Structure 1
Amino acid sequence: MAIQNGTVRKRNPEPLLKVEPSSAGVGNSESPGSPTAGIQHPAGEVKYSGFSQVVRAILLATWFNCAVVAIHATQFIGAPLYWINRDYYYAYMALTKQSFAIVGIAGTRWFAQTKVRVSWDKGLRGQFHKTPAGRMETTFPERLIYLSNHQIYTEWLYLWWIAYTSRMHGHIYILLKESLRYVPFLGPGMMFYGFIFMARKWLSDKPRLEHRLNKLKSRHKGPLSGSAGLDPMWLLIFPEGTNLSANTRKGSVKWAEKQGIPDMRHLLLPRSTGLFFCLQQLEDTIEWVYDCTIAYEGTPKGGFAPEIFTIRSAYLQGRPPKSVNMYWRRFAVSSIPLTNAKEFDNWLIQRWREKDDILEQWYTTGRFPSDPESADSMRGISKDGFIETEMTLNNWMEIGQLYVVLAAFALVINVVLKIWALFSKFM
């Protein structure tokens, strides 16, 4: 098994699921015939009544929609900076991007609180720290590409939070499905953020992707421009293209048969074209590719997390995963074959087979590999090389960032109107 720099725990694993017929009122959402059907929900019974769920839905929607509208309005207020001063425009949009991260982190903390367990291989030793207050901090580079397997729809929230722990949450860029461009408020907001929309048609995707990547290689001198002149950039890519489910599993099996290679056990086969192009375009401006393997406690072996941890179950019923588990590795860009597409495809498949083995260990033992030699009580790292924390804000006063520009704008408008009214009296 090719688990790099990992330590296999040899204790008896804790049961991930109690296999029992579902009791009335538990409200399983699994589809018939699924490996998860007929299995008691791993987070237990529904914690909130139907009325409470309606209240929670209203509160969550109010929080999210009001915040998104405020952020989008803030973006429009700052849009003229694009023609006035590009340096300040990109810094301004980075601040609005920070605001959206704050919305996601706060909402998840309030409505779907869960434990996060993080480990890493020895190549990342020293880059993780737990503060005395229990929050995780990371010291990842200012510019990188980071990859992840894709299991549930809200995965990007946890990965955006990782950027927050490095104070890079205003500099994240994500490759997204083209259809998301047309979601009201969110779509235009993500366009302001410089997110990259992909139609999965390479002839049309390539020029669009090249245009966006050229912008990510540009240099600015304004605030938040980075220590090396190049803007900080965390480019998040899901090489699988979509989340793991019963339907996408079938597609992966067909693709494996077409390519004449074995399919994965716990993953979808990755597609290499987009990532290969991104690395070719950015290889002179980044040193590392970071890789996250993510899993959710309670997902049975062979099961599909989206069928268990839906937005309803996690945010409304009070049944999020008991823990979100992450294992981090990194690879030097200089070690990745970027001159030949076939060699790169083989490289990526090999990395994904390693991830598959890592997930096999997780399903068997309930733990990812770790680096016990990095244990440090002063840095909050346990003796077995893990950090256990929760997804939360460093300071709840950060929520004020969402509305400060609107408040200042309203104040200015109010002053202008009063001056105009006063001036009109003398005309």
Structure 2
Amino acid sequence: MQVICLLKASSLSPETCGVFSNFFPSLVMLLEWWSGTECVIYTDPRAYPKYGKENAIVVLNHKFEIDFLCGWSLAERFGVLGGSKVLAKKELAYVPIIGWMWYFTEMVFCTRKWEQDRKTVCESLLRLRDYPEKYFFLIHCEGTRFTEKKHQISMQVAQAKGLPSLKHHLLPRTKGFAVTVRSLRNVVSAVYDCTLNFRNNENPTLLGVLNGKKYHADLYVRRIPLEEVPEEEDKCAAWLHKLYQEKDAFQEEYSRTGTFPETPVVPPRRPWTLVNWLFWASLLLYPFFRFVVNMVSSGSSLTLASFVLVFFVASMGVRWMIGVTEIDKGSAYGNMDSKQKHSD
């Protein structure tokens, strides 16, 4: 059913695709309503009223298995989840359900080889200039999720380039960010520098969320007007490196004090994702259970075997989706033995 809806949505206008994406069973519902995970935002009270009322580039650290989910929760609470976009690795486009949804709703995919990505990324970003809804464009400038091995290699690169070492982040890759800023200038109003951490050294996982485990997220958000980001690529790169040095200092302060600067606020949890899930559950589960009962009562060995096979394939698809988020099964990008060249 979801695949059919996605195929249909792919032929519609961008704004309609954004609405469709909000009608699919959302992981945000699992985070906010099933697991009851709390997300406290630390931010300037003067900037808070602007969130959700303007287009923004969101720069989020990439250390936790559910950091992307917290970014979605932020977008949902400010009413822009349906139109939000992300710069993601191309492999994610093939992940069941979530990857297909991203593909048909015009997410920006890259191979992480800049010579190959430049044209496709620029074209995708230029299409966003005409996007009719408000959106957050999420970018993980570190390029891959933080691990100790990747961090060690990244800091060797930083030392070779004469850049300050970072304790809690990988060295940011600047070209994608610079192109994003250049392509969306005069359309996007600000950069939201988002720094995420979890209380009591919690190690959140998507599997934990699915099991109903509650986590406690703290998110420090700084609104930086896009006019303050330099246009020239080299100056923009220097600006981004400085931003990550500041992010690192905020993370260090959090590790010492358990809190971020600025005023804590909890954006109200909206019921839309729960209503969304209940709608699709009521629409699909009853006929599904009737179908299962009819198959079992038929007594046909071939029918039962077919059902078991379909169930097994579906389970493997869900496990694949979960595996994409797991740190110990993450990509080798950023590892020395992956033979990827670290360049800005």
Q: Calculate the TM-score normalised by the size of structure 1.
A: 0.61
1:276 and 2:213 are equivalent in the alignment = no
Q: Is the 8 A contact 2:77 2:269 kept in 1?
A: no
Query: Out of 56, 66, 72, which is 1:154 matched to?
Result: 66
Structure 2 stretches lacking a partner, 5+ long: 286-344
How far did 1:125 drift?
A: 4.6
Distance 1:170 1:252, change over 3 A: same
Query: Out of 1, 14, 22, which is 1:98 matched to?
Result: 22
| Amino acid across the alignment from 1:345 | A
Distance 1:186 1:312, change over 3 A: closer
Distance 1:393 1:251, change over 3 A: farther
Name 2:205's counterpart in structure 1: 310
Name 2:242's counterpart in structure 1: 350
Name 1:368's counterpart in structure 2: 260
Deviation string 1:47-76 (CA, Å, 9 cap, x unpaired) is xxxxxxxxxxxxxxxxxxxxxxx4332122
Query: Out of 98, 101, 124, which is 1:186 matched to?
Result: 98
Query: 2: CA distance between counterparts of 1:95 and 1:329?
Result: 28
How far did 1:80 drift?
A: 4.0
Superposed, 1:27-426 pairs within 5 Å as 70-81=1-12, 89-100=13-24, 103-127=26-50, 139-218=51-130, 225=132, 231-299=133-201, 308-316=203-211, 319-321=213-215, 323-339=216-232, 341-370=233-262, 385-388=263-266, 393-394=271-272, 396-400=274-278, 402=280
The 10-residue stretch of structure 1 (274-283 or 245-254) with the greater mean CA deviation from structure 2? 245-254
Q: Is the 8 A contact 2:9 2:104 kept in 1?
A: no
Q: Is the 8 A contact 2:40 2:266 kept in 1?
A: yes
Query: 1: CA distance between counterparts of 2:48 and 2:83?
Result: 23
Distance 1:177 1:395, change over 3 A: closer
Distance 1:291 1:319, change over 3 A: same
Q: Is the 8 A contact 1:106 1:392 kept in 2?
A: no
Deviating runs (4+, > 6 A) in structure 1?
Answer: 403-407
Q: Is the 8 A contact 2:62 2:142 kept in 1?
A: yes
Q: Is the 8 A contact 1:213 1:281 kept in 2?
A: yes
| Amino acid across the alignment from 1:386 | P
| Amino acid across the alignment from 1:184 | P
Deviation string 1:232-260 (CA, Å, 9 cap, x unpaired) is 33211011112222222122222212212
How far did 1:329 drift?
A: 0.5
Q: Is the 8 A contact 1:337 1:343 kept in 2?
A: yes
How far did 1:297 drift?
A: 1.2
> What SS class does the counterpart of residue 138 from structure 2 fall into?
strand
| Amino acid across the alignment from 1:364 | R
Q: Is the 8 A contact 1:113 1:391 kept in 2?
A: no
Query: 1: CA distance between counterparts of 2:15 and 2:23?
Result: 13
Query: 2: CA distance between counterparts of 1:355 and 1:123?
Result: 20
Q: Is the 8 A contact 2:197 2:217 kept in 1?
A: yes
Q: Percent identity?
A: 23
Deviation string 1:303-358 (CA, Å, 9 cap, x unpaired) is xx7xx333344543x5543x10011111111111112x221111111111111111
How far did 1:184 drift?
A: 3.1
Structure 1 stretches lacking a partner, 5+ long: 1-69, 82-88, 128-138, 220-224, 226-230, 300-304, 371-384, 408-427
Query: 2: CA distance between counterparts of 1:391 and 1:266?
Result: 29
Distance 1:238 1:203, change over 3 A: same
Deviation string 1:189-233 (CA, Å, 9 cap, x unpaired) is 2110111111111111011101111211126xxxxx3xxxxx433
Distance 1:106 1:349, change over 3 A: same
> What SS class does the counterpart of residue 386 from structure 1 fall into?
strand
> What SS class does the counterpart of residue 290 from structure 1 fall into?
strand
Distance 1:404 1:338, change over 3 A: farther
Larger Rg: 1
Name 2:314's counterpart in structure 1: none
> What SS class does the counterpart of residue 71 from structure 2 fall into?
helix
Q: What is the root-mean-square deviation in Å for CA atoms of aligned residues? A: 2.6
Distance 1:123 1:360, change over 3 A: farther
Query: 1: CA distance between counterparts of 2:84 and 2:273?
Result: 20
Q: Is the 8 A contact 1:216 1:233 kept in 2?
A: no
Query: 2: CA distance between counterparts of 1:162 and 1:282?
Result: 21
Q: Is the 8 A contact 2:15 2:83 kept in 1?
A: no
Query: 2: CA distance between counterparts of 1:388 and 1:296?
Result: 15
Query: 2: CA distance between counterparts of 1:213 and 1:395?
Result: 27
Q: Is the 8 A contact 2:52 2:79 kept in 1?
A: no
Query: 2: CA distance between counterparts of 1:366 and 1:119?
Result: 12
Q: Of Structure 1 and Structure 2, which has the larger fraction of its residues in helix?
A: 2
> What SS class does the counterpart of residue 298 from structure 1 fall into?
helix
Query: 2: CA distance between counterparts of 1:178 and 1:80?
Result: 21
Distance 1:160 1:206, change over 3 A: same
